[in-house]
Amino acid sequence: MKHLRRFILCLIVLLAVAAIAIATCPASFAWRWVAGNAGALKLDGLSGTVWNGHAGSASVFGTELGALDWRLSPLPLLRGAIAAQLDIHGGAVTGNGAVARESDGSLQVTGATIHLPASLAAPALDIPMLQLLGQLDIDIAQLRVQGAWPTAAQGEIRWHNAAVAGAAQASLGDLQAQFATAADGSIAGTAHDLGGPLQLDGTFTIATGGYDVRAKLAARDGNAQVLDALRFLGQPQGDGTTLLLIHGKFFPVF
């Protein structure tokens, strides 16, 4: 009995030491273990613990996002998931939301808001003669990424003070898009203007590894600047509108 009590006491002490070690594990130490599986995500200037940490610099594909703070939730670990509240700030990109890595390997994002310069979306639209100006506000109610590709989503994007510069300069007004998971498993969305100089009526589809955009564009009330910009945005149609067609591919972040 005496030896049993000693064993139990030693076990309690070991568990307490392990709990303290886990609770106080430095973020920099933990990152060394997972950095190899983080794909295009890079973190520098780490401080805090694995549970409540800070990265002075976060970047994806070499694009600086800003500082990153996270707060890890312990309870999801019981079901084999890793869940955290993330907050990006101090740089060109700001935002926050809940992110969870589920036991099946999928990544779940809920209740996220992201604000970023429209210029960061330029590679997706592939309009080399024009620079994109204004700010994108993205609200993600729900997003699921499986095997590095988005497989389910619901949310809204608003392009505030949309404008272009470069080969042509024009103010486009505010533009808006909504997206959600379609019956075939793809992510489908619609885009429209909010009454500014540019008339926009478009649709887009996101499927495994790629996306397609089809948009009908026109200058409201014959706006001269918009008409000039439309020369670089798509194919002129017989009814005076411009048809913009884009097909692109995604590159996996993780």
Q: What pLDDT sits at residue 204?
A: 94
Q: Are 54 and 68 within 8 A, CB to CB? A: yes
Which two structure tokens, joined as six digits, stand for 20? Answer: 């303290």
Flag residues of the chain having pLDDT under 50: 2-23, 254
Query: Rounded CA gap, 156 and 106, in Å?
Result: 22
Tell me which residue of 203, 189, 200 sits closest to 233, measured CA to CA: 200
Query: Rounded CA gap, 128 and 194, in Å?
Result: 25
Q: What pLDDT sits at residue 224?
A: 96
Residues 6+ apart with CB under 8 A from 66: 57, 58, 88, 89, 90, 91, 92, 93, 94
pTM: 0.81
7: region left, alpha or beta (phi > 0 left; psi from -120 to 50 alpha): alpha
Mean pLDDT of the chain: 82
Query: Rounded CA gap, 98 and 238, in Å?
Result: 47
pLDDT tens digit sequence for 176-211: 999 999 988 889 999 999 999 999 999 999 887 789
Q: What pLDDT sits at residue 173?
A: 96
